[in-house]
Chain A
Amino acid sequence: MGGTRLLGWLVGAVEREPVDWSAVYEEELPRVYNFFRYRIGDRATAEDLTALAFEKAWRARRRYRRDRAAVSTWILAIARNVAIDYFRQTRLEVPIDDSDAERETPETVAVRHSDLRRLGALLGELPPRERELLALKFGAGATNRAIAKLTSLSESNVGTILHRTIGGLRAAWDAGGRR
């Protein structure tokens, strides 16, 4: 809003243009949720961890600095730490959950169950680093540059790992399931 921008300019050195956190929520919720879906697996845990990540972000939102990182990267960094804490506590990675498909037809449910199981099994076999990169790429829709910033890997390294991992998954997928 214009008026906010005017004052925001004047005190911008302390708090730059105010962030519209409602819009951030709408935009980032699917990305964070799908990051956990791909990273963790089952839907219920993905929801729990998504909620935890957003609550942490909301309590820290006044410390967010626009000049340090895009808000999407900032929230993903929080989500990533939540996932790391989760694995520290559980040391368990589970396949993607396919239990909530009541809106689909029996045929599509069958196909979908099968595909989800296959993908879950394939992801479950990946080393943690590769699975995390896939979750950031395909779950959160992050760019290689953003992933590099989040993981402290170089951008080219991220690209190489993703390319190799996707190639392996693709081959296993085409072969009918397990790698």
Chain B
Amino acid sequence: MSDDFLSRFHEEPRGEFAEDLKRRLRDIEVAEAEPAARRRGRAVPLLAGTAFAAAVALAFTLPPVRAAARNFLDLFRVKRFAAVPVDPDRLARIERGGLDLKSLVSEQVEVIEPARKPAPVDGPEAASAAAGLGVRQPSVLPRGAALAEVSVGHPGAFRVSLDVSKLELVARAVGVDDPDIPASWNGATLQVQAPPVVMMRYHRGTEDFMLLQSRNPEIEVPEGIDLARLGTLGLRMTGMTTEEARLFARTIDWRSTLLVPIPVQGGTFREVEVRGQKGLLVTSMQPPKPSADGTPRSGRWRSVLLWADGGEIFALDGPGQGIEILEMAQSIR
């Protein structure tokens, strides 16, 4: 039975209306940016959504270059995570200043293998096969929680070409007056290969716990890049003074430590031990959801635990201040 007579009245919204609404939505984004940064509870996500954060984080992940005699690429493997306090007001200032960081960064990124959306699989065994790793599961679950969904995502691979002039532009925009970036870095290419990610969602009432597991991402770094120097620059871009960045950088093993940006006014973080490995537990207060009748509600604590173990990296997210996810993580076999 033809239903063309119904479809033919489909029409495009007026251009003037579409543009006007787009402006109104942009106004909402701008109005939210500063207060959201101030009241903060969503520590990690605040930066996760920005290309700037990605660029900084990527810089932090870079290992030192091996001996100059080596004429091939170095590899970086995550063994531990460390938190880096950042000043979210800097990001808000940049946005207000009109600097399009997203474009600046994206112009230097070349996608080698496109990301694919997570696809559900039948269970952990199927996920193991699809991701090419032995999926590990917790033997202890939070009371009332059960495995609800297993999926496998493919983050893909990409290449980042350093552009000294753009890097300096970004650095100066966030308040680093003397970036001092060697001209020889121009055109250096870093390649990131992110292996498949297994995501296991455990459900309880209205809450979810999410366990992610992946083989270590591989980051290839060309020789000639002083990555400790680049990392120090990244630290200054987060708001540290030159001296603070220098001291902090000395505590970092740039070959194996992945830094996670945490807004200074955001949640708390602490180092924890997970099955003999050092992990990072980040806790933040989530903004309250409005109730149907408009009565105020309080926010909820939420935590994420990051750790590496045996060539694989894990992230476990759940409600609360970390007690349940820590217990869950300790039971993963």
Contacts and interface: CB of A to CB of B under 8 A. Distances in A.
Interface stretch (A49-57, A72-80, A144-152): A49-57
B84 interface: no
A166 B4 CA distance: 11
B10 A11 contact: no
Contacts of A62: 36, 42, 45, 287
Nearest to A123: B6
B109 A11 contact: no
Contact of B212 (A9, A55, A170): A9
Interface stretch (B12-20, B135-143, B169-177, B240-248): B12-20
Interface in B194-246: 194, 197, 199, 201, 208, 210-212, 214, 217
Q: Which of B49, B57, B194, B212 gathers most chain A CB within 10 Å?
A: B49
B73 interface: no
Given A15-B44, A63-B289, A7 B57 contact: yes
A11 B156 CA distance: 16
Contact of B304 (A11, A29, A54): A11
B270 interface: no
Contacts of A69: none
A5 B6 CA distance: 41
A5 B36 CA distance: 23
15 contacts: A2-B110, A2-B160, A4-B48, A5-B156, A12-B210, A12-B212, A14-B42, A29-B18, A34-B11, A37-B9, A55-B28, A59-B28, A138-B7, A138-B10, A169-B5
Interface of A: 1-15, 17-18, 25, 29-30, 33-34, 37-38, 47, 50-51, 54-55, 58-59, 62-63, 67, 96, 100, 115-116, 119, 134, 138-139, 166-167, 169-170, 173
Query: Which 10 A-B pairs have CB atoms at the shortest separation, nearest pair first?
Result: A2-B158, A13-B317, A3-B54, A15-B45, A18-B49, A33-B13, A11-B44, A11-B48, A4-B54, A13-B315
